Structure 1
Amino acid sequence: MGDILLSGADNDMGVISDVDDTILISRATNTYRKLRLMLFNNAHTRLPFEGVAAFYRALHRGYHQERFTPIFFVSSSSWKLYDLLADFCHVQGIPKGPLLLRDSRLDRFKLMTSLHEGHKLSQVKTIMQMYPLKSFILIGDSGQKDPEIYREVVRRYPDRVKAIYIRDVSKPHRHEEIAAIARELKTLDGVEMLLVKNTVEAAEHAASHCWIEPEALPEIRGEQLKDQEAENLLEV
């Protein structure tokens, strides 16, 4: 069984989102903690980033539109994790959307970073080509190479990126690298890349540009607090 989602020609916006450390807490920058999460947790016990489900529901609804905004999930995780990720989104109330994952076969002649960058850029390129009339919000995290990948997306598809939200999950030394990319994109292409500490920051920016309804902000703030409490209990 599968689903077919029809967003309609009257909606010219879409969302492309990373998965690990963007919607799902994965600790991708810490190998031990990442493995512990993968081995000892399931779709019901894995935690989302605070407020992310409410934010994605607001993006999915759009701004006073009859047609929903499609969300595409792109990850360098293996297809072997598809069921876990699909179940996780269902349990958390994250809107349905295509999950574009990576072949589990590893190329022994490439580093994992190269695999991550090449796969994600290729999938985003495919989405852009399939929906040439849509512009996209891009969402990722600072832990891997999402800022660099999304900069390349802007270069290849000028005027088709509305904004880029990067969740801050890295150490301070990474901040200046991302700030330099953000300045470059703003100056040369007029695209904002925001390094955000939490979901509410991204949601408030989206609401100010009429990409989500302002009425959704209280729900996002409330869910963020609830998710923070759940994470604190887990960490203890």
Structure 2
Amino acid sequence: MTSAGGPPPTGARDDGDEVDPLPRSRAGAALFRLGRARRDVLAAVLRRRGWTYAVLPYPGYGVDGSARVLARVVLAAPGREPSTVRGVAGWRRLVTLQRSRVAVEVSAAGQDTVHEVRSGPGGFVDAVLPWSFAPGERTVTFRVGDRDPVEAPVHVADPEARTGIVCDVDDTALVTGLEHPLGAAWRTMSRAFALRAPVEGMADLLVAAHAEHGSDHSPVVYLSTGPWNFNGPLARFLDRHGFPAGPLLLTHWGPSDAGVFRDGRAHKRRSLQRLRADFPGVRWLLVGDDGENDPEVYADFAREHPQHVLAVALRQVGPRAAATAGDAAVGTVDGTRVPEVRGTDGHRLLRGLRAAVPSDPA
């Protein structure tokens, strides 16, 4: 498994400041610097008032002697544990003061070594640690400063697993309505995730596909262009509605060195390539919807790496779905022999997948 962690560059300050990226986009770089300066001033004020670093732990994954651990470091008021916050509107979760260059201790039951990692840009901790876990759900513990430790699961795959699932979230697992952007934004920002609705039949699709094509510890990963701030409530949403357990690979909203807005398509492409490298023997069922960029991203990956794709399953959304509300359409990804199934809900997609891909493929 390749590592995305590592020590800070030589000379970097250990005070939460972020290293300025090489400015490939003038607008993105200017907004990045402005946001960094604002956060630094606010952080200095809050630190004088007793605020300290806290960790938001996220589910990770592991396989074959290593574990990828994920978290984020933010500033929090004394006596307030941000990872325990529940039932708030989405916009409130976006109001965080993330801090980079912060030392975090990571430990795990049954592992002798306690690792020290440092948060990177955006406050993210994304590190691969050389731990050997038995397959199944394991627990890692994060500690920063004098704060109480917080825990996160690590979903450890069977090294012999040959199939896995990658699933989009918005309009695939969770009803968002991205074909109507203003309405989707309002639902995301104004409602707690406990009030949101799952897409019909998608949990059944993933559970059945996991049972019919995988094993007890085959990898399941949720891949979305949503912000990391929503990781906790999304994980609880998926669990509450019966989706298989697995980590969420989300992204950071806001300006970067590459532009004013983050490129969701690029995030998904990079994540799929990372999963291919981390699980070289796995063929993936790629589940998404046709409302945004999933068809293009999945098709490109299938053409580049057909040996790593079991099938593509796309939920149809918007006006096109109303005109094709019958059984799923079964075909192949253009330019490949990779099966592709399209349908309006998880139940139709499951019937199509069963027609297109036999159980226990060789």
Superposed, 1:184-195 pairs within 5 Å as 185-186=333-334, 188-195=335-342
Aligned-pair CA distance for 1:66: 5.1
Please, which of 20, 25, 29 is the counterpart of residue 179 of structure 2?
Answer: 29
> CA deviation digits over 1:165-219, x for unaligned, max 9?
111113339x9xxxxxx97735x3101222211211211133343448xxxxxxx
Aligned in 2, Cα 1:152/1:66: closer, same or farther, shift over 3 Å? Answer: closer
Count of equivalent residues: 202
C-alpha distance in 2, partners of 1:116/1:41? 23
Within 5 Å, give how 1:147-186 maps onto structure 2.
Answer: 147-172=295-320, 185-186=333-334
Corresponding residue of 2:249: 100
Q: Give the C-alpha shift of residue 44 in structure 1.
A: 1.6
Structure 1 residue runs of 5 or longer lacking an equivalent are 176-181, 213-236
* Percent of residue pairs bearing the same amino acid type: 22
Task: Tell me, yes or no, if structure 1 residue 3 matches structure 2 residue 148.
Answer: no
Q: Secondary structure at the match of 1:20?
A: coil
Residue 12 of structure 1 and its aligned partner are, at CA, apart by: 0.3
Q: Which secondary structure does the structure 2 equivalent of 1:3 belong to?
A: strand
Q: How does 1:56-135 map to 2 (within 5 A)?
A: 56-63=206-213, 67-107=216-256, 110=259, 115-135=263-283
Cα distance, 1:140 vs. partner?
Answer: 0.8
Corresponding residue of 1:201: 348
Q: Identify, as 1 or 2, the structure richer in strand.
A: 2
Q: Judging changes above 3 Å, is the alpha-carbon distance between structure 1 residues 106 and 159 closer, same or farther for their aligned structure 2 residues? A: same
- If asked which structure has higher relative contact order (CA below 8 Å, sep 6+), I would say 1
Checking the alignment, whether the CA contact within 8 Å between 1:14 and 1:136 is kept in structure 2 is yes
Distance 1:98 1:171 in 2: 32
* Partners of 2:256 and 2:350 in 1: CA distance: 38
Deviation at residue 42 of structure 1 after TM alignment:
1.7
More helix by share: 1
Q: Which has the larger radius of gyration?
A: 2
Structure 2, unmatched stretches of 5+, are 1-150, 324-329
The alpha carbon displacement at 1:108 in A equals 7.8
TM-score by length of structure 1 reads 0.76
What TM-score do the two structures reach when normalised by structure 2?
Answer: 0.51
